[in-house]
Structure 1
Amino acid sequence: MADSIGDSNLSFILNKPYGVSFEERPKPTVGSPYDVLLAINYTGICGSDVHYWSEGRIGSFILKDPMVLGHESAGTVLSVGSKVKTLKPGDRVALEPGYPCRRCPACLSGHYNLCPDMHFAATPPYDGTLAGFYTSPEDFCYKLPDHISLQEGALIEPLAVAVHIVKQAEIKPGQSVVVMGAGPVGLLCCAVVKAYGAAKIVTVDIQPSRLEFAREYAATHSFTPERVSAEENAARLIKEAELGEGADAVIDASGAEPSIQTSLHVVRRGGVYVQGGMGKPDITFPIMELCLKEVTAKGSFRYGSGDYRLAVDLVSRGVIDVKKLITGTVSFKEAEEAFKSVKAGKGIKVLIAGPNEK
């Protein structure tokens, strides 16, 4: 119950690359009548968290002041503002860890994920969720059905990322889809395209263990690229997976330049290519393939309207099992060791228990 949660607001803070500390910060309060105060129960580690931890920046988002890490979280409602109608103390929620201005052209057109004034957790200068408590607008908290655990709730965030990517790809029943990268988002993309009715799902990675997991989880085929040209890897992939003229859609969830290059050679004429993974700011790109095939190329950034609700629904109905991705859970004090494990490529999804979890 909400009234049995401890009072520690111990926070995991990034001060500089590889320089972290634990600090007891003041417990936040509900500042807006539309906000809720959450006790954070579990937080997953995302690739972007690791990138900030190791590099101190992602593109133009640069760490300048100490920042609390973490954004893949589930929590328990402790208190609510006077205008909150859908949540009450004790409710368990998946937290969408960013809220927009609600007034700009992007927000008003339904693309709030593109809001230039997005307040996103653990993106400088905004603190993240690896703390005891966190405040959020009511409409960015999604109540979990009783049969979904808080651990599963923490994985709604990466699942929502995958949902948005697949929506961008416009997957239709019976199509063939290649997913580059078998990390958490890549695996979840495989699961979502399967839910959308894709007939052939090819997972691509260089780690045999991840490919094996992907085949057991959602993929129908797997492929290991070699140290050859993108054209050669693409030709072998198409042949081995029997893709004919190429895949209907290719999703890159790796951000790796060779994968991106191979993707444009794998997608069929008139197909769709979606860039979901983030890598180097600039890469060499096979633009001729894009033009000659009239490929529809799209970027994908976080998640938008309806993505979180669909993610919760897919888990609630048992269409996607996110529990299988959880490698393990560590205590809050073990957060730095968990970051080291994720950077070393160990496991799939590590969860950090909140400082008040027993």
Structure 2
Amino acid sequence: MALNYMRALQKVAKSRLATCSAVTSSRGYATGALPEAVEPAVWRNPAAVLHGVNDLRFEDVPMPDRLQDEYVRIEMKAVGICGSDVHYWKKGRIADFVVTGPMVIGHESAGTVVELGPNVTNLKVGDRVAVEPGVPCWHNKASREGRYNLCPDIRFFATPPHHGSLAQYIDHPAAFCFPLAPNLTHEEGAMAEPLSVGVHACRRAGVSPGKNVAIIGAGPIGLITLLAAKAYGADTIAVTDVKEDNLSLADTLGANVALLQQPHATTAQVAEALRTALPPFGPDIIIDCAGFESTMQTAVQACVPGGKVVLVGMGQNEMKLPMASASCKEVDLLGSFRYANTYALCLKLMESRKVDVMPLITHRFGFSSDEVTVAFDTASRASETGAIKVMFNMN
């Protein structure tokens, strides 16, 4: 009841904003549009809150009464489930990032601006936006050089201890909210996040026309990296995985070769298969979206002399690699962590239809206690459910 009342007030405010010439206040309402006494002072904000391993609850979280300078309040419309969200739910940690207290989950998101904080000039109430989840501190060397994804103090949605975006409302810096073109949906806005991972990996690798590219792993990130590599003009792209269904989707998305890896194949055998699949010499670039010792060993063996291997997947923290071989072949081993300065490009790629992410969304759910539980279970059992990208449509 309170939520409906609040939305009604918002609609009145927006209508009056469109017709009056009053100055906008710090809450995003026109001064005089609503009596102060009836302005909503409490925002009911249901969210998916992770309390610990296998302990995901649907509960209200508090919202500040006033927005910070240069922040906006966003009503979420679409939020995707990432493998990292599932991992935090099932394991309570990823590497050194440990869930130690209640944390709102989710970081692939898009919504509609419902309120403006002071000094916001690039957005207005009603704008549909994709939300970039990582906000750096801007004071360290990496941030100043434009590689803000490497900021050690970055505040990234749903990375402990920072809350995520699977909530009815979030507050976020306006500079990290990107307007959606009229032909883009909120779901596509949410998919700008995983697409950014693929675009960043392709940038790190130098994917371009004339290059043969191999992608190891046909999960959500591997498939979206395939789309990014195609957009960057790679000549030939091979994708390998152990799941036939995922490879079928890779084939549909435009992979030139979809290579099924046999369960007991050695790294040398898989490497030889990749070299054969990408004649005449093999892959110039290998992007490992699985991130295991065996997959990285395969990548080093398969890569052409002078080629590049980019590690995106984080399946294993420590691994042994044939470094002598990598040195003799002068193979560049590159890490790829999240992304920086990608959102505008990703939205343009989708707006122009050079990239179509919609086939990756296999399951959709609403936003309620029961649906949150079922959605995360569906994503966690992808081998049984066939899930690639599970998406919440918030309302």
**Cα deviation, residue 166, structure 1:** 0.5
Match of 1:216, as an amino acid?
T
Q: Helix, strand or coil: the match of 1:223?
A: strand
Give the equivalent residue in structure 2 for 1:120: 156
SS at match of 1:194: helix
Q: Which of 107, 112, 129 lines up with 2:165 in the alignment?
A: 129
Q: Corresponding residue for 1:326? A: 361
* SS in structure 1 of the partner of residue 305 of structure 2: strand
**For residues 1-358 of structure 1, what are the structure 2 equivalents within 5 Å?**
3-4=10-11, 8-226=44-262, 227-239=264-276, 241-305=277-341, 307-333=342-368, 334-345=371-382, 346-354=386-394, 357=395
Alpha-carbon shift at residue 30 of structure 1 (Å): 4.8
Q: In the comparison of the two structures, how many residue pairs are matched?
A: 353
Q: Give the alignment's TM-score, normalised by structure 1.
A: 0.95
**What one-letter code is carried by the residue in structure 1 that aligns with 2:324?**
M
Amino acid aligned to 2:89? W
Query: How far does residue 101 in structure 1 lie from its aligned partner after superposition?
Result: 0.3
**What is the identity, as a one-letter code, of the residue corresponding to 2:156?**
F
Letter in 1 for 2:380: K
Provide the rounded CA distance (Å) in 2 between the counterparts of 1:266 and 1:196.
22
- Tell me if structure 1 keeps the 8 A contact 2:133–2:156: yes
Query: Counterpart of 2:366 in structure 1: which amino acid?
Result: S
Distance 2:125 2:292 in 1: 44
Structure 2: unaligned runs, 5 residues or longer: 1-6, 15-39
Counterpart-to-counterpart distance in 2, 1:214 and 1:111 = 30
Q: Is the 8 A contact 1:94 1:144 kept in 2?
A: yes
Deviation of the 1:29 alpha carbon: 4.7
Deviations 1:43-79 (A, max 9, x none): 0000111110110001111111111100000010011
Contact persistence 1:41–1:75 (CA under 8 A)? yes
- Which moves more between the two structures, 121-130 or 281-290? 281-290
Return the letter of the residue paired with 2:88. Y
Distance 1:28 1:288 in 2: 56
Q: Kindly provide the CA deviation profile for residues 89-111 of structure 1, in whole angstroms up to 9, marking residues without a partner as x.
A: 10000000110001111111111
Most deviating of 54-63 and 217-226: 217-226
Q: Distance in 2 between matches of 1:247 and 1:55?
A: 35
SS at match of 1:268: coil
Indicate the RMSD between aligned Cα atoms, in angstroms. Answer: 1.7
C-alpha spacing 1:28/1:266, structure 2 compared with 1 (3 Å): farther
Q: In the aligned structure 1, how far is the partner of 2:364 from the partner of 2:270?
A: 37
- The 2-side partners of 1:242 and 1:119 are apart by 40
Checking the alignment, whether the CA contact within 8 Å between 1:28 and 1:133 is kept in structure 2 is no
Residue type matched to 1:312 in 2? L
Deviation of 1:343 after TM superposition, in Å, equals: 1.4
Q: Rg larger in 1 or in 2?
A: 2
Q: Is contact 1:33–1:80 with CA below 8 Å preserved after alignment? A: no
- What is the TM-score normalised by the length of structure 2? 0.86
CA contact (8 A) 2:67 2:73 kept: no
SS at 2:163 equivalent: coil
What amino acid is the match of 1:350? V
Could you tell me how far apart the structure 2 residues matched to 1:140 and 1:242 are?
A: 39
Report the residue type matching 1:230 in the other structure.
T
Q: Please report how far the alpha carbon of residue 275 of structure 1 lies from its aligned counterpart in structure 2 after TM superposition.
A: 0.4
Q: Which letter does structure 2 place at the counterpart of 1:110?
A: G
Q: Is the 8 A contact 2:67 2:118 kept in 1?
A: no
Aligned to 2:307, what secondary structure does the other structure show?
strand
**Quick one: percent identity of the two aligned structures?**
39
The whole-number CA distance in structure 2 between the counterparts of 1:248 and 1:189 is 16
Give CA deviations for 1:207-242 in whole Å, capped at 9, x if unaligned.
Answer: 101101101102111111221221121112222x14
Q: What residue identity is the alignment partner of 1:284?
A: K
